[in-house]
Amino acid sequence: MIEVRNLTKRYRGGTAVDDLSFTVEPGRVTGFLGPNGAGKSTTIRLVLGLDRPSGGFARVNGRPYASLDRPLTAVGALMDAGDLHPTRSVREHLRWLARSNGIGERRIGEVLEATGMAGVARKRAGALSLGMKQRLGVAAALLGDPGVLILDEPVNGLDPEGVVWIRHLVRGLAAEGRTVLVSSHLMSEMALTADHLVVIGRGRLLADTSTEEFIAAHAGADGAGASLEEAFMRLTGASVEFRSGGRR
């Protein structure tokens, strides 16, 4: 379980996360939605203790992330898939992560198999395609067999086959009773993947509801052809800072 309570992050330039509260429950996929720059990644960084909050707090399994002794065995996170040393091999990348949390060598082979990366285990990370890097990021998140998974934009750079793979993987993880938070700015993808949605805009909570209710509640007056995409546009329209449409 992930709890976010009154979480606030202010930078010199402004407020990235503004008094945000929500809970991510186990056993279902929670989609974390918002336009680019809405504060999704900042929220995730605050949950993982990478940034210090200006106010409020975030807890994982009832504890602050930083107080976890072997955090990778509790929480698996995919942040920026490009966060790799270009000359370090796929296997060595997973090896240092495993060592840091006392995870056995055998598990490296297992996650390589599970993510379809076994064939490129000796390849340098710098030689991987973006889709491969995403898979490696997922492998790293799964390494400690954690009960909580946080995936920031996991389908970025994936081919259609990879997108379907992520969708099945994420749903399977939730079905096993894990807590799964998946951020995305792709509403159509979340409609197929998420059971529950947390929608933010400009760092503020806009909606915290089931996917079905969200579509029903924000569907157009005509009711016909309501899609999550449209519902999302309607809800976040006011909170999008830069819209391409209106500035021709």
Partner 1 sequence: MSGFVRAASAEWVKIRSVRSTAVTLGLFAFVALGLGWVVANGFSAGGPAADALLPVFFGLLTAQLVLVTFAVAMVGAEFSTGTIRASLAAVPSRGRLFAAKMTAIGVTVAVAALVVELAVYGLVRLVIGGAAAPLSEWWTVEALLGGWIHLTLLSVFTACVAVMLRSTVVSLSVLLPVLFLSGQGLGNLEAVKPVVQYFPDQVGMVIMHMTRPGDPQFGRDYGPWEGIAILVLWTAAALVGGWLAMRRRDA
Q: How far is the CB of 164 from partner 1 (least distance, A)?
A: 26
Least Å from the CB of residue 29 to partner 1: 21
**Among 154, 230, 155, 238, residue whose Cα is nearest residue 204:** 238
Q: CA–CA separation, 70 vs 77, rounded Å? A: 13
Question: Closest distance between partner 1 and the C-beta of residue 54, in Å?
Answer: 11
By beta-carbon proximity to partner 1, the closer residue of 103 and 170 is 103
Task: Concatenate the DSSP letters of all residues of 111-129 into one string.
Answer: HHHHTT-GGGTTSBGGGS-
Q: Compute the Cα dihedral for 25, 29, 30, 32 and give only its sign.
A: positive
Q: Which is nearer to partner 1, 5 or 124 (CB)?
A: 124
**Closer residue to partner 1, CB minimum distance, 69 or 222:** 69
Residue 96 or 237 having the CB closest to partner 1: 96
- In whole angstroms, how close is the CB of 89 to partner 1 at the nearest point? 7
The residue ranges that bind partner 1 (CB under 8 A) are 45, 48-52, 65-72, 75, 77, 79-80, 82-89, 92-93, 95-97, 99-102, 140
**Amino acid found at 204:** R
Full DSSP string of 172-209 = HHHHTT-EEEEEES-HHHHHHH-SEEEEEETTEEEEEE
In the bound state with partner 1, the residue whose beta carbon lies nearer, of 34 and 144, is 144
How big is the CA angle at 102 (ends 114 and 143), to the nearest 5 degrees?
A: 20
What is the C-alpha to C-alpha distance for residues 150 and 138, in angstroms, rounded to an integer?
A: 10
The nearest distance, CB 20 to partner 1, in angstroms, is 17
